[in-house]
Amino acid sequence: MNETLDWAKIPYFLAVARSGSLRAAAETVGGTHATVDRNLRALETAYGVRLFDRTKKGLTLTSAGEHLIPLAEEAEAAMIGARRRLQGLDQEASGLVRLSIPTTFYGIGFPEMIARFERAYPDIELQITVTNRFEDLNRSETDVSLRIAHQVDDDVVGRKVLQYAAGIYASQDYLDGHWSDAGPQGEGLQWIGWGSSGALPDWVRASPFPKARIRYSLRSPTLIAQMVGAGVGMSYLPCFVSNWVENLVLVPGTEVYPDRSIWLLLHSDLRKTIRVRLLVDHLAAELKALRPVFLGPLA
């Protein structure tokens, strides 16, 4: 058996096991679904077993595949750990740093933050992913992650930068057209909801407007903010959103409140890597300078 072949195919096996399809796995590891399928079949040939049952609905692990999972993940962890330890020895202000940021940071001057970092450290290359998904630091999907959360429980090094405030916002146009006819518990108003549709969420029941209907249910904070600004309805939003979405005002009778915090996270093996530390320090200083923007009326 060609052991080199095994090592090369393991990432494809894990990507398919985690996603359940060739196309989704291809997005994770790069390449096409045909490349993933070819490498997967080569691994099955090398081991002399079927690792997946192929159906119209996707791929499901066989018993052999289930047994391979913990061994493959152990090999993956060993390789990632080795790479991080070697990266941790790097004391140069150069090289690649992968950064993940949430979509809501578009409008707070983030491009200008990065431009200032580039001017200060021209030999550090940034690979930036904009996503609301919590990318996995332990699987080396990113080196530094900017996250919004109440608390971070991951096994990583976390720097809590600052807390931001939030409130119930609507556009002035929406209030002009609906507020005077609204009932005392929000009758006649509508929410732009967060997350999946279904039963009345706790955040609606606990709000000052439990009788307002949920007209939309979205997963994109950026799209929610834009729809609020367009006069579609009201929603809970961070105060800093009002700096990049025009025409937003607090709904009458409501106040802003301290909400979640902004965190900078990195894997512990990279905490002494110069280029990573320089980026984390730079972003922390830039974000702290925007404290009045994040706190809004609470500043």
pLDDT of residue 195: 62
pLDDT band for 91, please (50, 70, 90 cuts). Answer: low
Rounded mean pLDDT of 208-235? 90
What whole-number percentage of the chain has pLDDT above 70?
87
Residues 138 and 102 in one domain: yes
Mean pLDDT of the chain: 84
Q: Which pLDDT score is estimated for 22? A: 86
Same domain, yes or no: 177 and 133: no
Together in a domain, 277 and 146: yes
Joined tokens for residue 297: 């009326």
Residue 154 pLDDT grade (very low, low, confident, very high; cuts 50, 70, 90): low
Examine the pLDDT at 43 and tell me if it is beyond 60.
yes
Same domain, 233 and 273: no
Check whether residue 156 and residue 180 sit in a common domain.
no
What's the pLDDT at 182? 95
Query: Same structural domain for residues 144 and 177?
Result: no
217 and 275 in one domain?
A: no
Kindly tell me if the per-residue pLDDT of 4 is higher than 90: no
Whether residues 155 and 273 share a domain: the answer is yes
Q: Report the candidate in 288, 291, 280 with the shortest Cα–Cα distance to residue 117.
A: 280
Q: What angle do CA 131, 258, 212 make, to 5 degrees?
A: 80
Structure-derived torsion over alpha carbons of residues 233, 234, 237, 243, reported in degrees to the nearest 10: 70
Type of residue found at 43: L
Residue 256 has pLDDT above 80, yes or no: yes
Please say if the pLDDT value at position 77 is more than 60.
Answer: yes
| DSSP E strand stretches across 135-175 | 144-149, 157-171
CATH number at residue 117: 3.40.190.10
Q: Domain range spanning residue 101?
A: 95-164+260-298
**Total domains present in the chain:** 3
**Tens digit of pLDDT for each residue in 157-193?**
888 999 999 999 999 999 999 999 999 999 999 999 8
Which region among 70-79, 85-94, 131-140, 209-218 has the lowest average model confidence (pLDDT)? 131-140
pLDDT value at residue 99 = 92
Is pTM beyond 0.75? Reply is: no
Closest among 263, 258, 294 to 151, alpha carbons compared? 263
263 touches 162 (CB < 8 A): no
When pLDDT is cut at 50, 70 and 90, the band that residue 85 belongs to is low
* Statement: residue 2 has pLDDT above 90: no
- In whole angstroms, give the CA distance from residue 299 to residue 213: 32
* Domain shared by 274 and 159, yes or no: yes
CA distance 118 to 281: 14
Are residues 145 and 105 part of one domain?
Answer: yes
> Residue 292 gets which letter from DSSP?
H
| Pair 229, 291 in one domain | no
Please say which residue of 48, 70, 88 terminates a domain: 88
- pLDDT tens-place string over residues 257-270: 999 999 998 877 77
Alpha helical stretches, state H, the chain: 3-19, 22-29, 33-47, 63-88, 110-120, 172-178, 202-205, 221-229, 274-288, 291-295
Higher pLDDT, 141 or 71: 71
Average the pLDDT over each of 11-15, 41-45, 128-132, 164-168 and give the range with the smallest value.
128-132
Question: What is the per-residue DSSP string for 89-132?
Answer: T--SS-EEEEEEE-GGGTTTTHHHHHHHHHHH-TTEEEEEEE-S
Same-domain check for residues 126 and 249: no
pLDDT of residue 134: 55
Q: If you search the block for the tokens 């700096």, which residue do you land on?
A: 243
pLDDT for residue 78 is more than 80? no
Among 36, 60, 88, residue at a domain's last position: 88
Amino acid at residue number 97: V
Q: What is the CATH number of the domain that holds 74?
A: 1.10.10.10
Looking at residue 106, what is its pLDDT?
67
